[in-house]
Structure 1
Amino acid sequence: MQSRLILVLLLLLCLSRTSMAQPVVDTTAVNQKRLVVVGATFAVGYTAMLVSLNQAWYAEEARTKFHFFDDSKEWRQVDKAGHFWSAFHESRMGMDVLRWASVPEKKAILYGGLLGVALQTPIELFDGYQAAYGASVTDIVANTVGSAAAVAQELAWQEIRIMPKYSFHTSRYATMRPKVLGSNLAEQALKDYNGQTYWLSVDVGAFLKEESRYPKWLNLAVGYGAEEMVYNDPERNAAAGLDAHRQFYLSPDLNLMHFKGRSKVWNTTLYLLSIIKIPAPALEYNRLDGLKLHPLYF
């Protein structure tokens, strides 16, 4: 289910940066024309995506009455980290596009910050009618916490200092169940939880005094992932001889937004790439191998 959220996020990010191609006007009045552009862009774009998702993922699925499904113990909660990541960046995007429309700061933060929950809730409603699974309370919680984390940082610091990020590497487990975990690289990047890592990249320089010599471009990131997960059910994994286990990481990271310049194309590229963790050396801990160093971790 997380693969759908990633696709929605990436498409909406592209739409938002297209609508923000012009420079922001310094004015206290709401720019009605830009607000209409924002509303129309998201109304049309998101409606089209929901229709597409419904056809691509749900059209051939057996349906039933709306119900909830407890998936809190599945995939070692890597999928919940993905929900948090998606909702955070959707809310971040919502705040930024409302600022572009010159909406007052607090309203931009509060209304834009609701976007992550607003965008992902319809997907949970779709899931609730599927016989094979259902709406997930823990997914809804992860979505809400992701949006709240973006809002809280903007209210506390007037900027994002702790950026959720995503990275991916291929795993040998995808070939064991390609219909679920992906049969090619693009599908695996969306579906194979064994290869996904979710990070919190901390802008250390933002917490230090202005005169500090600490390099403002250097972040410190902590990551979370898991491995040996072919089935969503932990008991089925164990029966297949797999020992699903969590992985924790520590790694340096680039603060891409530090490199902003005058070029709109360049700044847009940095904005889009800021959701991804740049490959770098990483220290990993897991209960099977203990500590180990990756010279370059994706």
Structure 2
Amino acid sequence: MTSRGNAAGVRLIASVLLAVLALCGSRASAEMSLTDSLRIASSSFRIHATTEWNDLPNYRHERIVPWKLATAIAGVGVYDLAFYQTLKKPWWSGETSRFHVINDWWGGYALEVDKLGHAFAAQSLTLISAETYRWAGMSRREALFWGGVSSLATMTQIEVLDGFTTAYGFSPADYTANIVGAFWPLAQELWRPLGVVTFKMSYHTARFEQAAAPNVIEDYNRQTYWLAFDVNRMIPEPTRGWWPDWLGVAVGYGVTNAFTYVSHREYNAIRPHRSYLVTRRPAHMMREYYV
């Protein structure tokens, strides 16, 4: 997808919609000068969600309660409708066209960080929906499956509407990321070795005065996506006492100088680039590859 017009109306940053927006792409416009763009800053804070489903308290019985199930389904339907109504005007009110597909598998406007955002948002929606279904009495695996279906239904709605919007288009790459994110928690449940991996997002503050995206979700320069590994669950049991419980290992990915929220502008002096990093903790890093 290309950078989108004014999405300042998207403001449900601490809610389910925030999670979904993380995956949907950059849709903002802002003005900036080249000098300001070079002033990148320091301090950081983290925003993350985990897939540690097995660590959730198992206080629910595994017998479906009809009124609870009806309530859960209605709740999922309400958030989907609210999501659509919130984004209808800023995202899909422009010129429409026949359904069309775009090819943005590699080297797109956000250097694949947007794809990770899609996966992260789909994962977050799955976990939220699954908790609701568990409350209704579903087994853990049933809840994760139907949570994944609910999440993918919401993400499918996004991609189909994009497909009929002239400026965007249906992205197979985005949709693949949606599928992976939506069913990643179920895969972890079905194959327990995957449970040692937690997919997270972190966000670090930076000072692009006048250039900052209007919200966290659309600011790819400050996002990092992590695969965090629980080392104590990976090493032989006799040696676990030697590894501190608080110390983890994570591999991260992010982008720098990708001005995805600036419309129709090109800065020849600053090229987007990838970066990689390796770290002992899933903390702040810049778009680079981190470990």
Is TM (by shorter chain) over 0.5?
yes
Pairwise CA RMSD of aligned residues? 3.6
TM-score after normalising by structure 1 = 0.69
Name the CA distance, whole Å, in 2 between partners of 1:49 and 1:138: 22
SS of match in other structure, 1:226: strand
Aligned to 2:23: none
- Name which structure has the greater RCO, CA cutoff 8 Å, separation 6+: 2
- Aligned-residue offset at 1:7: 6.7
2:134 is the alignment partner of 1:103: no
- Aligned-residue offset at 1:249: 2.1
2:94 is the alignment partner of 1:65: no
Change (3 A) 1:137 1:28: closer
Aligned to 2:73: 39
Change (3 A) 1:128 1:285: closer
The count of corresponding residues between Structure 1 and Structure 2 is 244
2:154 is the alignment partner of 1:119: yes
Structure with the larger helix share? 1
Are the equivalent residues in 2 in contact too, given 1:128–1:135 (CA < 8 A)? yes
Aligned to 2:25: none
2:209 is the alignment partner of 1:140: no
Name the CA distance, whole Å, in 2 between partners of 1:80 and 1:141: 9
TM-score after normalising by structure 2 = 0.70
- Aligned-residue offset at 1:122: 0.4
Question: Which has the larger displacement, 73-82 or 112-121?
Answer: 112-121
Per-residue Cα deviation, 1:213-260 (whole angstroms, up to 9, x for no partner): 133343221110111222589xx75x622222111122233xxxxxxx
- Aligned-residue offset at 1:26: 4.6
Name the CA distance, whole Å, in 2 between partners of 1:54 and 1:283: 32
Structure with the larger strand share? 1
Gaps of 5+ in 1: 16-22, 254-276, 294-298
- Aligned-residue offset at 1:114: 2.4
2:234 is the alignment partner of 1:207: yes
Identity score, percent? 29
Change (3 A) 1:227 1:27: closer
Gaps of 5+ in 2: 20-56
Aligned to 1:227: 256
Counting only pairs closer than 5 Å after superposition, residues 89-100 of structure 1 correspond to structure 2 as 89-100=124-135
Are the equivalent residues in 2 in contact too, given 1:170–1:188 (CA < 8 A)? no
2:195 is the alignment partner of 1:195: no
SS of match in other structure, 2:190: helix
Are the equivalent residues in 1 in contact too, given 2:64–2:136 (CA < 8 A)? yes
